[in-house]
Structure 1
Amino acid sequence: MKTQKVWFITGASRGFGLEIARAALAAGNQVVATVRSQSAQLASILHSHPDLYVVQMDVTQEDQVQEAVKQGIARFGRVDVLVNNAGFGMVTAIEEATDAEVRKQYDTNVFGLLNVTRAVLPYLRQQKSGRVINITSLFGYDTVPGWGLYGSTKFAVEGLSKGLAVELAPLGIHVTAVAPGLFSTDFLSAESYVAAKTIIDDYQETVGPMRNGADVLHGQQPGDPKKFAQVIIRLANTERPPLHLPVGKDTIAMYQNNAAKMAQEIQAWLPVATSTDHDHRVAALTIA
């Protein structure tokens, strides 16, 4: 028999966040769904479900995050599953992006995630239980031209997830970084990703096709977001969830190709990479 859980889901207005909220409610859970605006619209989409509580919150505003978490706790008494889903994409060559554009990307995708995680963890630690599910990306395993900056934020979340996992495991809290591939959400719609204002002609051959092709690909992605949501439901109810979960054949291929390339590079440079120890000195530190 499944126990009812309280979910806290960021970026729930559309895409993965909306589908996860819908699936969690259908599975008999209570859901705190956060949106940056138009909270009444989300409540209407989800038919004002009695187990739904919609909170307006911008993940980049720490005071709003703290208040939203307090409101969710006041409504349902606890949080069991945190889904850090809020984020956006940016198509740009890394050189093209201004400092302000880079900071905005990181403020939402990385520092915003940290804001929410810091706000929720005290409650999970007090309970000695809970799940943190961080939505990353196939671009958190490898990159393609034009998505390197966005991918770097997902690499960061993968690393943060690993650190959180080892720190929180003794406290009964599980962490999973879920890396979806291309799914037919609104991610590639003009409203969901941005392009850098600066365009450098030298990057036309590499980044140009991504700038011109994102809208064309929108709606043609292979992944079904409803099926992705069911994966998240299953993950939240698994006794021993994985730390890393690539989802989608394209993500698996991205991971496998990157792992193979890295292994080949390391092997080719192994004599150089292992040539830097002091002569006749025994290593004093071993990292498990």
Structure 2
Amino acid sequence: MANKVWFITGVSSGFGRVLAEEVVRNGDKVIGTVRQHRQLDEFNAIAEGKAFAYMMDVTNPDGVKATVEAAIKHLGRIEVLVNNAGFGFLGAVEEASVKEFREVMETNFFGALQVTQAVLPHMRRQGSGHIVQMSSVAGFRSTQGFGVYNASKFALEGMSEALAQEVAPLGIKVSIIEPGPFRTNFAGSSIKAAQQEMPEYESTARVFKNTILGYAGQQEGDPVKAAQVLLQVVDNENPPLRLPLGQTAYNAVRNKLQQVEQDLKNWESIATQTSFDD
């Protein structure tokens, strides 16, 4: 379908910005959300009459609802929602405060949830739509030193997997995208770290933190190619529920599946002996 209307959160930079550029290059229109006034004109300049920036903070429910309503009033519809806004967080589970956990969850999970709930009534009325949740390979497989971020993306994936089943009869599709390392600002300005650092985690969480920060700008993934894959996903009649992006992510998902399968085999005789005897 030509000339779709996309609603993408977090388009000031990184993957969201690259995706928006590819969307308009593909002939579609895009509504992109930013958090600073100076970013409005910059985004609108991508393609006059095809790119429209709106100020929105995904953690503000009233603002989310108002922005979605304004977008619908402006362009009449939203065919594709991409929940892209979010940030990374480094630190061992014990190092991170509950406050820090909540801040990550507010944006990465509750933010995406609020935008999804605001857009769904419009998609239901249309009888069609595609919700794309930008998760991460970290939303499928956990890593030492990344537990806070893992928790937010695991929550997003759990909610989205149920959502996909609920909205399928309504003509709405859901896809969970799981990128590995891509050359965006994720490992730079889009990542935070626990204020507390404990020496007990020098050989685990700290090693991962240094690895992530050390390869900023050197990641294997090309965000333009990732955006082009996402366009193919949205255009497909039978899109995947989950799609890892990049060889690193693909290998990580396969390795976890093999580990889970091995645990099932090793413990089947014990795990299945829990029913009443009668």
TM-score (norm 2): 0.97
Q: Which residue of 1 aligns with 2:43?
A: 43
Q: Which residue of 2 aligns with 1:17?
A: 16
Deviation at 1:169, TM superposition (A): 0.4
Q: Which residue of 1 aligns with 2:261?
A: 263
Q: Which residue of 1 aligns with 2:165?
A: 166
Q: Which residue of 2 aligns with 1:223?
A: 221
CA distance in 2, matches of 1:256, 1:148: 20
Q: Which residue of 1 aligns with 2:248?
A: 250
Q: Report how many aligned residue pairs link the two structures.
A: 277
Q: Which runs of 5+ in 2 are unaligned?
A: none
CA distance in 2, matches of 1:47, 1:223: 23
CA distance in 2, matches of 1:53, 1:29: 12
Partner of 1:272: helix, strand, or coil? helix
Deviations 1:73-106 (A, max 9, x none): 1110100000001110000101111111000000
Q: Which runs of 5+ in 1 are unaligned?
A: 281-288
> Which residue of the other structure, out of 191, 197, 215, is the alignment partner of 1:193?
191
Q: Which residue of 2 aligns with 1:202?
A: 200
Q: Which residue of 2 aligns with 1:70?
A: 69
Q: Which residue of 2 aligns with 1:234?
A: 232
Question: Is the CA contact (8 Å cut-off) linking 1:39 and 1:55 kept in structure 2?
Answer: no
State the one-letter code of the partner of 1:101.
Answer: E
Q: Indicate whether 1:52 and 2:69 are aligned.
A: no
CA distance in 1, matches of 2:203, 2:41: 41
CA distance in 2, matches of 1:147, 1:217: 16
Q: Identity of counterpart residues, as a percentage?
A: 40
Deviation at 1:161, TM superposition (A): 1.4
State the one-letter code of the partner of 2:98.
Answer: D
Question: Is the CA contact (8 Å cut-off) linking 1:43 and 1:49 kept in structure 2?
Answer: no
CA distance in 1, matches of 2:48, 2:258: 47
Question: Is the CA contact (8 Å cut-off) linking 2:18 and 2:224 kept in structure 1?
Answer: yes
TM-score (norm 1): 0.93
Runs of 4+ in 1 over 6 A off after TM superposition: none
Q: Which residue of 2 aligns with 1:100?
A: 99
Question: Is the CA contact (8 Å cut-off) linking 2:187 and 2:216 kept in structure 1?
Answer: yes
Partner of 1:269: helix, strand, or coil? helix
The within-5 A match list for 1:74-223 is 74-189=73-188, 191-223=189-221
Question: Is the CA contact (8 Å cut-off) linking 2:12 and 2:43 kept in structure 1?
Answer: no
CA distance in 2, matches of 1:134, 1:251: 16
CA distance in 1, matches of 2:219, 2:41: 26
Question: Is the CA contact (8 Å cut-off) linking 2:41 and 2:53 kept in structure 1?
Answer: no
